Amino acid sequence: MTQFDYDFFVIGAGSGGVRAARTAAALGARTGIAEARFFGGTCVNVGCIPKKLYTYAAHVSHDLADSAAYGWQIATPPVFDWSRLKQNKDKEISRLNGIYKNLLSSAGVTIHEGRARISGPNRVTIGDRVVTAQHILVAVGGQSFMPPIPGIELAMDSDDFFELTRQPQTVLIVGGGYIATELAGVFAGLGSEVTLAYRGPQLLNGFDQDIRAFFTDAIKTYTQLKLNTDIERIDESGNQKQVRFADGSTQVFDAVLYATGRVPATANLGLVDNGVTLSDVGAIIVDKHFETASPGVYAVGDVIDRVTLTPVALAEGQALARRLFGGREQPEHKVSYDLIPAAVFSDPQIATVGMTEAEARSCHRQVDVYRSRFRPLKHTLTGRDSFSLMKMVVDRDSDRVVGIHMAGADAAEIMQGMAVALQVGATKTQFDQTIGIHPTAAEEFVTMRTPVDV
**Catalytic annotation, residues:** 438
Question: Site for ligand NDP (CB under 6 A): which residue of 100, 162, 325, 345?
Answer: 345
Q: Is 405 in the site for ligand NDP (CB under 6 A)?
A: no
Q: Beta-carbon neighbour count of residue 150 at 10 Å?
A: 12
How far is residue 212 from each of residues 59, 247, 348, measured CA to CA in Å? 22, 25, 12
Q: Is 147 in the site for ligand NDP (CB under 6 A)?
A: yes
How far apart are alpha carbons 233 and 244 in whole angstroms?
A: 5
Question: Site for ligand NDP (CB under 6 A): which residue of 308, 318, 382, 388?
Answer: 308
Question: Site for ligand NDP (CB under 6 A): which residue of 309, 321, 351, 448?
Answer: 309
H/E segment holding residue 35? strand 31-35
Q: Which DSSP letter does residue 301 get? A: G
Residues 208-227 vs ligand NDP: string with x where CB under 6 A?
--------------------
Q: Is 131 in the site for ligand NDP (CB under 6 A)?
A: no
Q: Which DSSP letter does residue 441 get? A: S
Question: Site for ligand NDP (CB under 6 A): which residue of 34, 136, 180, 407?
Answer: 180
How far apart are alpha carbons 111 and 346 in whole angstroms?
A: 36
132: which strand partners? Answer: 123
- Shortest distance, CB of residue 59 to ligand NDP, whole angstroms? 15
Closer CB to ligand NDP, residue 169 or residue 228?
A: 228
Question: Site for ligand NDP (CB under 6 A): which residue of 101, 212, 262, 391?
Answer: 262
How far apart are alpha carbons 211 and 371 in whole angstroms?
A: 11
* Residue 256 burial (10 A CB sphere; 0-12, 13-18, 19+): buried
Q: Is 196 in the site for ligand NDP (CB under 6 A)?
A: no
Closer CB to ligand NDP, residue 313 or residue 367?
A: 313
How far apart are alpha carbons 295 and 276 in whole angstroms?
A: 9
CA proximity to 415, closest of 338, 351, 354: 351
Q: Is 179 in the site for ligand NDP (CB under 6 A)?
A: yes
Question: Site for ligand NDP (CB under 6 A): which residue of 176, 185, 341, 348?
Answer: 176
Q: Is 161 in the site for ligand NDP (CB under 6 A)?
A: no
Stretch that binds ligand NDP, among 197-205, 237-245, 282-290, 421-429 (CB under 6 A): 197-205
Closer CB to ligand NDP, residue 48 or residue 367?
A: 48
Stretch that binds ligand NDP, among 1-9, 193-201, 212-220, 398-406 (CB under 6 A): 193-201
How far is residue 335 from each of residues 11, 42, 108, measured CA to CA in Å? 21, 22, 25
User: Taking the alpha carbons of 442, 444, 447, 448 in that order, is the dihedral positive or negative?
Assistant: negative
17's CB contacts (< 8 A; 6+ apart) are 10, 11, 33, 35, 41, 137, 139, 140, 300, 301, 317
- Shortest distance, CB of residue 55 to ligand NDP, whole angstroms? 10
- Shortest distance, CB of residue 73 to ligand NDP, whole angstroms? 36
- Shortest distance, CB of residue 289 to ligand NDP, whole angstroms? 23
Angle (nearest 5°) at CA 266 between 3 and 315: 70
User: Taking the alpha carbons of 318, 320, 325, 329 in that order, is the dihedral positive or negative?
Assistant: positive
Q: DSSP states of 48-87 as a string?
A: HHHHHHHHHHHHHHHHHHHHGGGT---SS-----HHHHHH
How far apart are alpha carbons 110 and 116 in whole angstroms?
A: 14
Q: Is 313 in the site for ligand NDP (CB under 6 A)?
A: no
Count of residues that interact with ligand NDP, criterion CB under 6 A: 22
Question: Site for ligand NDP (CB under 6 A): which residue of 114, 191, 200, 436?
Answer: 200
- Shortest distance, CB of residue 145 to ligand NDP, whole angstroms? 7
Stretch that binds ligand NDP, among 18-26, 118-126, 255-263, 373-381 (CB under 6 A): 255-263
Strand pairing category for 110-113 and 401-407: unpaired
- Shortest distance, CB of residue 84 to ligand NDP, whole angstroms? 24
Strand pairing category for 262-264 and 142-144: antiparallel
- Shortest distance, CB of residue 193 to ligand NDP, whole angstroms? 21
Q: Is 168 in the site for ligand NDP (CB under 6 A)?
A: no
Stretch that binds ligand NDP, among 15-23, 111-119, 196-204, 351-359 (CB under 6 A): 196-204
Closer CB to ligand NDP, residue 283 or residue 367?
A: 283
Type of residue numbered 373: R
Q: Is 343 in the site for ligand NDP (CB under 6 A)?
A: yes
Q: Is 177 in the site for ligand NDP (CB under 6 A)?
A: yes
Q: Is 150 in the site for ligand NDP (CB under 6 A)?
A: no
Return residues touching ligand NDP (CB under 6 A).
147, 175-180, 182, 198-200, 205, 259-262, 308-309, 342-345
